[in-house]
Amino acid sequence: MHRLSCVAFLLAACAATPALAADVYVAPTGSDTNPGTLAKPFASLTRAQTAVQPGDTVWIRGGTYVLQEKDIARKQGIFAYVHDLSKSGQKGKPIKYFAYNDEHPLFDLSAIKPALRIDAFYVSGSWLHFKGLEVTGVQVTLTGHTQSICFANDGSNNIYERLSMHDGQAIGIYSIRGGDNLFLNCDAYRNWDHTSEGGRGGNVDGFGCHPTAGSTGNVFRGCRAWFNSDDGYDCINSHEAVTFDHCWSFYNGFNDKFESLGDGNGFKGGGYGATAPDRIPNPVPRHVIQFCLAVRNKANGFYSNHHTGGSDWINNTAFNNPIDFNMLCRLPDNKTDIDGIGHKLRNNLAYKGKTLLARYAPGKNDESHDSFLMDLQITDKDFLSVDEKELILPRKPNGDLPDIAFMHLAPGSKLIDAGVDAGFPFHGKAPDLGCFEH
């Protein structure tokens, strides 16, 4: 074969063969002038992003990434995007940003203090998968109305998995635009904006999801939120329904000395603040809060927050909140508060709240088998444990929530099989009450 046609043949063969997914590496000791290999890794995710294509993986080595203001990828308007992840994967070929093996990459942003809102990771790309990253020290530098964010999502079909966001002044995860995102097994804790608007931290939720019209299918599963200065989970101003499934929320609205800070709801399920009634979505989305646990939050465990419609509350457990379940609704004028109507409630369990159920309109909800409307004398003996300390045990190696005894039903408890089939798997004759099936 003539040499030239040989080259042409090889090029053609190359083009016809699907490219193998590539791996690139990032390490605290790396350099962005390196080739990004395991032996010679990049230093930054910003550099790694330029090297990857759909289907590729960025492996992030353990250790601390101490970020500086020179590392800010982009400043625009009032925002500083420290990481600006706009490159998308594709369906079936996500771009993955994964901790390498069992290593622990920690991103420390405490030195980044521009006079701007800080997004530690601004994600506008879609079909991305993040796993095993830890973010700490995100600052708020402005004293007026503002907020900083660890992971800000404006993409779709993204997976945020085993992320830990703590000890900063920023919201853990904040999702506005984009649908079909899964927030899986993430922890947000001890986040308190003590700088802006008087230092009560009224904007810092563990997890905020406030989807725009069309941004459907966002799910939080297996996440934990504690000691965040505002709420654990908040979906105020949502134009589409959000699902919270098997999530825990405790000690929100407090700092770790239990000093009072922001709103302090475990799950703030909806509402529209001061939005004009003609700008509220029609129909109003029904949020889904199921198999969740709310413990000793400052205000309410499960809170409907003046929502202008009902939501679905299935098999949740509330323990020791001032109000365990607060079903407060509002008329469509978004002005007139009313006792909750239109909710679906099944198999919920409330114990030791100062008030178990508030702002609930009897006969105007689809309700069945909820402890607070049943004739049950619940005592500590109904549970294997009432020790809250178990809530902050380390996660399992695969990222799942830890196995605990807290709020699990004791053998012989009258709460076992006391529920009604709500369309989920159960053991025994019937579902149990609460979030942990015996």
What is the contact surface with Ca ion in residues (CB under 5 A)?
205, 230-231, 234, 417, 426-428, 432
Amino acid at 119: D
Of the pair 100, 250, the CB lying nearest Ca ion is at 250
Question: Is 284 in contact with 269 (CB distance < 8 Å)?
Answer: no
Cβ-in-10-Å burial (0-12, 13-18, 19+) of 92 comes to: exposed
Burial letters 127-158, b for 16+ CB under 10 A, else e: bbbbbbbbbbbbbbbbeeebbbbbbbbbbbbb
Integer Cα distance of 107 and 66 in angstroms: 6
Q: How many of the other CB atoms lie within 10 Å of CB of 385?
A: 14
Of the pair 161, 230, the CB lying nearest Ca ion is at 230
Of the pair 130, 291, the CB lying nearest Ca ion is at 291
Of the pair 231, 370, the CB lying nearest Ca ion is at 231
State in angstroms the smallest separation of the CB of 314 from Ca ion.
Answer: 14
Of the pair 32, 417, the CB lying nearest Ca ion is at 417
Q: How far is CA 259 from the centre of its chain?
A: 24
Amino acid at 273: G
State in angstroms the smallest separation of the CB of 391 from Ca ion.
Answer: 20
Residue 158 backbone dihedrals phi, psi, to 5 degrees: -95, 150
Q: Which residues are CB-neighbours of 297 under 8 A, at least 6 positions away?
A: 231, 232, 249, 250, 251, 252, 253, 264, 265, 266, 321
Of the pair 137, 264, the CB lying nearest Ca ion is at 264
State in angstroms the smallest separation of the CB of 412 from Ca ion.
Answer: 13
Of the pair 44, 252, the CB lying nearest Ca ion is at 252
Of the pair 332, 428, the CB lying nearest Ca ion is at 428
Question: Could you say which DSSP state residue 7 is in?
Answer: H
Question: Could you say which DSSP state residue 132 is in?
Answer: S
State in angstroms the smallest separation of the CB of 239 from Ca ion.
Answer: 17
Of the pair 424, 426, the CB lying nearest Ca ion is at 426
Q: Is-cis flag, bond preceding 105, omega within 30? A: no
State in angstroms the smallest separation of the CB of 366 from Ca ion.
Answer: 21
State in angstroms the smallest separation of the CB of 265 from Ca ion.
Answer: 7
Q: Which residues are CB-neighbours of 179 under 8 A, at least 6 positions away?
A: 156, 157, 211, 214, 215, 216, 217, 218, 240
Of the pair 88, 147, the CB lying nearest Ca ion is at 147
State in angstroms the smallest separation of the CB of 72 from Ca ion.
Answer: 26
State in angstroms the smallest separation of the CB of 232 from Ca ion.
Answer: 9
State in angstroms the smallest separation of the CB of 52 from Ca ion.
Answer: 35
Q: Residue holding tokens 């329904």?
A: 241
State in angstroms the smallest separation of the CB of 438 from Ca ion.
Answer: 6
Question: Could you say which DSSP state residue 162 is in?
Answer: S
Q: Which helix (H) or strand (E) holds 98?
A: strand 95-99
Integer Cα distance of 312 and 287 in angstroms: 6
